[in-house]
Structure 1
Amino acid sequence: MSASEPQPANTLDPAQTAQWFSREVQPHESSLRSYLRSMFPSFPDVDDLVQESYVRLIRARATGKVRYARAFLFTTARNAALDFFRRRQVVAIDGVADLAALPVAEDKPDAAEAASRQQELELLAASVRDLPERCRQVLTLRLLYGYSHKQIAAELRISEHTVKAQLAKGMRRCASYFEARGISVARPTQREEQP
């Protein structure tokens, strides 16, 4: 079992967790902080957000839910920031003259729709895993973390032209993966593949 695979909660001890954290999580702290500052420039305290993300990550690891520490960390940090901003969006009832101005809660999907979405996500994850390494890295940084072409080029030490080519290649291969499994997708045009 590799360090990035989930481990059952009963085999985790503090020393293992500390070693795992030092090896798998801590090296990404500076890029996490940069990501959070660029994505959420109005967030009041990035340090609090980083610590909250670490707590959520360690709790999730204890339950065996963490396969890829870096991806889980960045996603957790983004979700923690979004949670913070959602909590701040409070509507003063006295200030609302028209009830139609209140935000409407979205209908939750039924079980069939939720299962369908889960299957689609699993298929998407499989299509991304099937990509060549460089293509997968570029696509993940762009779509999951929202990096710009310039940021991806700097992170992976490749040219922006290579980033664009790898993104286009990845999108085409994912579309082909879906079509081979009977799912029709609208293929991006040359213009849509650009930022």
Structure 2
Amino acid sequence: MSGGDTTIVGCHQAALSAYVRSLVDSAPLAADIVQETWARAIPALRSGRVENPRAFLCRVARNLVNDRARESGKWRPWLAEEAAGSAVADDSPDAERRVLAADRLRMVRGLVADLPPRCREVFTLRKFDGLDQADIADRLGITRGAVEKQLRIALLTLASRLGEIEEDA
């Protein structure tokens, strides 16, 4: 954008934004329309053929709002009613899935409990307590490399044991 464009935008941005917000009920939609208005209006404003820039900008914005309304109306018959959204079935897991997930979590916690003590401690701090590797190293008084090694051992051990369990099932 050139210096002249910046001056034009600076003079009319607030008024244009307020005008568009008065026409639409969505802040993101208003911002899109304002941006599109500038994209369409700047060439004409640069040419100097526009006598009243504010009126011109408002006309371009109004036309864009009308275009958007016409476009959304075209698709309305094929779109579900908003009220129908409340009739959508609950997509949360059913009782069986919750029980299976709880069983799997108990199994994983049991496998974690079987890890060597340092490995278990590092894994628990990282995966259950959410600490990053540097914090774990500081807390345990070990190097970050040692933390990474313990995590790698824990993950490989758990993956192997989970694979064995799933093969038996």
**TM bin (shorter chain):** 0.3 to 0.5
Task: Give the TM-score of the pair, scaled to structure 2.
Answer: 0.46
